[in-house]
Amino acid sequence: MIVYWLVYEGFGKGQVSVLNPVFASFTGLVAIISIVFFREQVSVSRFVAIAVIFCGVMMISMDLTALRSGKIKLDHVPGLKEIGLAALLAAIWTLSWDKFVGGQDSLSVTLFMYGFMTVAAYLLARVKVVKLSLVKSDLWKFLVLIGLGEVIAYLGITWGYASTSLTSVVAVISGAFSLPTIILARVFLKEKVVAVQTVGSLVIIAGIIILSLS
């Protein structure tokens, strides 16, 4: 819950084009810690695939147009502290969650985790005196769909962590959710895809192909 709160706080203060790649980098941090400190056994080809996918994730998360505009001062980036801390906590949480769910029933642990997260978010809202009535009624249907999608997505990730010892692979591939997001946004919302995102998409696909052959 704290990670989500920090991410929204950071995005509310600064430019998503700068902050999004910082947060997306937590999957790479998870992979590095798992391989270096937890001695995860990774072959050379699998390591290359993980590195390629991670590079694609970083490319697809960037907005070079905003960065080149000159309006962003890298020595003072609003929201960077919140996003940096969120990325660090997300990496710690992911590694801890991976160790916890091993041998557990994915559905049960995900159910309880989101139940406790909801309670924690409600308590934080009470502490910060946030009026929940400010959420407009026409937004609830979208919030319900987003919440449902989030739970299903994390159930899949938890299933992955519970089913394999390859923490780095699950972490990096789960971080590639930006790829289907961009494709769906292009198809249904007619959003423009910049060159770096197209290249990043191809890099992710190439990494997944390498991973499947390793």
**pLDDT digits over 52-67, tens only?**
999 998 888 876 665 5
CA distance 110 to 211: 27
For position 76, what pLDDT does the model report? 65
Helix axes 167-174, 44-61, angle to 10 degrees: 20
When pLDDT is cut at 50, 70 and 90, the band that residue 102 belongs to is confident
Task: Give me the helix-helix angle, 16-24 and 80-101, nearest 10°.
Answer: 30
Q: What pLDDT is stored for residue 136 in this prediction?
A: 84
The pLDDT of residue 115: 92
**What's the rounded mean pLDDT across residues 191-212?**
87
The more confidently predicted of residues 151 and 214 is: 151
Average pLDDT over residues 12-40: 87
pLDDT of 1 strictly over 60: yes
Higher confidence at residue 22 or residue 66?
Answer: 22
Residue 70: predicted pLDDT: 56
pLDDT band, very low/low/confident/very high, at 72 (cuts 50, 70, 90): low
Query: Which two structure tokens, joined as six digits, stand for 60?
Result: 């697809």
Single pTM value for the model = 0.81
What is the rounded distance in angstroms from the CA atom of residue 125 to the CA atom of residue 60?
A: 33
Positive or negative torsion for Cα 160, 175, 200, 38: negative
Residues above pLDDT 90, as percent of the chain: 47
Using the CB atoms, write b or e for 120-138: b if 16+ within 10 Å.
eeeeeeeeeeeeeeeeeee
Q: What is the mean pLDDT of residues 69-79?
A: 63
| Domain residue extents for the chain | 2-213
Q: What is the pLDDT of residue 48?
A: 94
Q: Residue 71 pLDDT more than 60?
A: no
Q: Taking the chain, what is the end-to-end CA distance rounded to the nearest angstrom?
A: 36
Q: How far is CA 53 from the centre of its chain?
A: 14
- In sign, the C-alpha dihedral spanning 128, 134, 140, 145 is negative
The confidence score (pLDDT) of residue 63 equals 67
| Higher pLDDT pick, 134 / 160 | 160
Please give the torsion angle defined by the CA atoms of residues 73, 79, 85 and 88, in that order, rounded to the nearest 10 degrees: -60
Is the Cβ–Cβ distance between 18 and 141 less than 8 Å? Answer: no
Does the structure show a pLDDT above 90 at 138?
Answer: no
What is the rounded distance in angstroms from the CA atom of residue 84 to the CA atom of residue 91?
11
Mean pLDDT on 98-109 = 90
